[in-house]
Every structure is written in C-alpha cells, then in structure tokens.
Amino acid sequence: MALILLSYDWRIALLSFIFVPISIITVNFWGGKTKKAGEEIWELQTKYETFLHANFQNWKDIKINNLEEAQFDELNGHYKKISRIWFINQLYLHLGITYSFFTKNFITQLFIYFIGGLFVIKGYSEVGVLLVFISFYGQFFGCIESISNSMMNFKNDSVKIEKVIEILNLEAGKKPYKHIEGTDINVENLKFTYEGKDSLVLDDISFTVSKGEHLAIVGESGSGKSTLAKLLTAQIKPQGGTVRIGGIDINTVNSESVPEKVSIVAQEPVLFNMTIRENLFLAKADATDAELIECCHRASIYDFIETLPNILDTIIGEKGVKLSGGQKQRLSIARAFLQDWDIIIFDESTSALDNENENDIITELKSLSAGKTMISIAHRLSTILDCDKVMVLKDGVMVAFDTHENLCNRNETYDFLFQNQYSKEVNHAVSKSYYNRYPAVN
C-alpha cells in the first residue's frame, strides 16, 4: 500500500508517512500507562483475594470479636482502590484507541487535503491523482489504526501473559531431583527478608547440627524462629547464604528432595477439609489402618478419634475448625510420626497441649528420634534441657549457640529470656531433675 502511495505522488506520500512513527510513539506511551495500571490491578486483586480468603476462614473470630464493621470498611477500601485503578486503566486504553481513530479520520485527512490542495494549486500535482491518493491513504492508515489498536489491547493483556510466562519459566527451570544421603545440617551466612520488608528478618546466620544432635531454638516473639524453620525446609528461599543437608544445598534440588529427608510440624498446623485418614495419607499415601492407628496413639489423639462418628473417616472442617488447637497439633504430629524422616523440626508444635499430653508425646518422640536429628523451637524448659545445643535468636541475629549450661553462665540475652520465659517453670518444675541441671535459678 505504501508503494502504491509513493507511485502516485512520492512527495505527498513521504510527508504523510510522518504520522506512522507519531502513531507508534503515542500508542506506546498510552500502552505503557495502560500496562502499568494493569499491573496495579493485578496486585490489588491479589491482596483483595487474600483478604477474602482470610475472612472466609476466620469468619467465626470476626463475629465473636465484633469486627464485621471494620472488615466491611476494609472490603469497601479494596473495592474503591480496584475501581479507581480499573477506571484509570480503561481511560488510558481508550485514550490510545481514540487517538488512533482521531488521527485516521481527522488529522491525517486534514493534513492530506491541506498539503494535496497546496500541491494542486502550485501545479505540482493533479486533482485526479490527489483524489485517488486520498482514497488509498484512507485504507493505508486504516491498517495503521488496526495495528495501533491491537498494540493497545496487547499491552493491556500483556500483564496476564507475562504472569503465565513466569509460571511456565518456573516449570521449565525445575530443579533436578536428588536423593539426600547425609543428615548433617550446615547453614552458612543465611540472610532472609520477606517481600516488602525493609530490614532483614534473619541476618548472617551460620551454624552446624550434626547427625543425631538435638538443637533448641529460643528467642522472643518475632525474632525469626519460624522463618528459620521454613528456610531449613526450603519452603522459602534465602536472599543470601546456603542451607546444606548432607552436603547438598537444598535450594539447588527440587521440591520433592527435601520433604523426603526433613519433616516439619509447623507452628500453625496445616490440615485440610478432608477426612482424618486423607489428612494422614498426605504423609504416607499407602499407610495401612494399623499404621494410622499406631501413629495416632503415639500422638495421643486416637482416644479422641475413636469418639468421632466415622472414626478415621470423619471429615474435619476447613483448616480443622472442628478440632481444638491441641487436637490439631496432635493430628499434625501424628502425620509427622507416620513419615519416614531423618530430621524433624518442631515449631512450638506442642504449645497448645497440657503437660500430660505433651510429656506423653515427647516420650514417644524421643523413642522415635534416637539417632536422628531434631530441631525444636522451644516454648518449654524441658525441651531445652534435653537438647545438645541451644540457639538464641534476637531480632534475626544469632546471639548465641552453645549448651544450656554454658549459656546460663555466659549469655545475657539468654539469661534474660530464661528468667522471663522459663523461670516460672523452674519454680513449678515437673521434675526435680530440672533443679539439678539448672542450679543457678531457684
């Protein structure tokens, strides 16, 4: 089409082509703005969906605490933000499209009539040639308009396309499966922060736990204990440093390699709205009834399960809402007992249990963990006293890593934490042996 225009009158054609780059630049400009607004919509929608999810899960707590109005205001806030940015996104999109339409039907026409008329008056061209030229130019710029509109729509959709590519790339870059042989844990210069957080949640953590050792991690709330547990199980990726298990960097192997070796009982038990049996099958899909019953006995939950209408086939609610906090913990411990692990991490996973239940479970755990590596994020003195080493975290920094006895004598942070968190337990010690092992506190 451009060649036909050039053949009719190359001078008018060259002058009129000026609108092609102008159109591309303008469409790029509005397209860029549309895309940016599209990215914001995506982010806001993700936050909005997370908010909705949390509300559906915790609706009972919201009702009990009379938070309906506050939640409704927040919902409104989400709607307002999404509506505002959606309006901006559509405004930019249609500004780009309207610009193309306006350029094709008005500006270029005006320009050609003006320049063409001038050429005819000056005798450089003829009326007949000009009329044919105008007709072809209309078709030519119609194509440019279609391309511009497609570009605008493409820019608008590119946010979604890029997300899909991101996911496909993740799949393509899947790490290789590797069987981890050894059980030693070696952590070097580990650094981590959550997205959007300014400061490091864990700063330069280095330590080693040898096969069969028991490590207790202590520290005030928010010091980074659960974050460290997640890093040790490759649930999150560090921004710096390495976690090696049996000499293998767990962030270089695929997501199936680590759970084979390490089991974690998380601070907040993850249970699904399925039967108890199906929740346990997640740890071992081919477990027999006898195995399921045995691990439930070990976790002191089978007596309760027997009282349920369908025993192991009773459906527990979303996130286990039909279970108490302690029952959820015991069920997730039963699941861990079912697994074949060499390393186990307990993140305050017996915190909701009474002393009797906790002691029973710890006794079972000890018999199962002989010769295996165990890391306990400790809330009870008894756990600490039974460990080979204690790590003290303070604001994401490892301030001490030593035996309990050495720490009592030398470490101020530990001493402070100990006096605050565990001294009551010492005073009401379950066993007199605590006093013998910790003579400094009385």
Ligand X SMILES: Nc1ncnc2c1ncn2[C@@H]1O[C@H](COP(=O)(O)OP(=O)(O)OP(=O)(O)O)[C@@H](O)[C@H]1O
Residues at the contact surface with ligand X, assessed by CB under 6 A: 194, 197, 201, 219, 221-227, 267
Angstrom CA distances, 90 to 35, 36, 81, 359, 360, stand at: 10, 12, 14, 62, 62
CB of 326 to Mg ion, least distance (A): 17
Closest residue to bound Mg ion by CB: 226
Residue type, 399: V
CB of 235 to ligand X, least distance (A): 11
- Give the separation between CA 116 and CA 241, rounded to whole angstroms: 70
Nearest to ligand X of 12, 216 (CB atom): 216
Binding site for Mg ion (CB under 5 A): 225-226, 267
Nearest to Mg ion of 346, 414 (CB atom): 346
CA angle 49, 55, 60 (to 5 degrees): 165
Among Mg ion, ligand X, none, partner that 31 touches (CB below 5 to 8 angstroms by kind) = none
Q: Write out the two tokens for 429.
A: 């010690």
CB of 420 to Mg ion, least distance (A): 17
Nearest to Mg ion of 219, 320 (CB atom): 219
Nearest to ligand X of 54, 161 (CB atom): 54
Nearest to ligand X of 218, 312 (CB atom): 218
Among Mg ion, ligand X, none, partner that 316 touches (CB below 5 to 8 angstroms by kind) = none
Residue 93 CB coordination number (10 Å): 22
Nearest to Mg ion of 227, 373 (CB atom): 227
Among Mg ion, ligand X, none, partner that 221 touches (CB below 5 to 8 angstroms by kind) = ligand X
| Eight-class DSSP state of 159 | H
CB of 192 to ligand X, least distance (A): 9
Among ligand X, Mg ion, none, partner that 25 touches (CB below 5 to 8 angstroms by kind) = none
Among Mg ion, ligand X, none, partner that 16 touches (CB below 5 to 8 angstroms by kind) = none
Cα–chain center distance at 76:
25
CB of 28 to Mg ion, least distance (A): 48
Q: Residue 86: what are its φ and ψ, rounded to 5°? A: -65, -40
- Give the separation between CA 237 and CA 168, rounded to whole angstroms: 19
Q: Where are the alpha helices (DSSP H) in 250-403?
A: 257-261, 276-281, 289-298, 302-306, 325-338, 355-368, 381-385
Task: Name which of 317, 320, 177 is nearest 254 in CA terms.
Answer: 177
CB of 188 to ligand X, least distance (A): 19
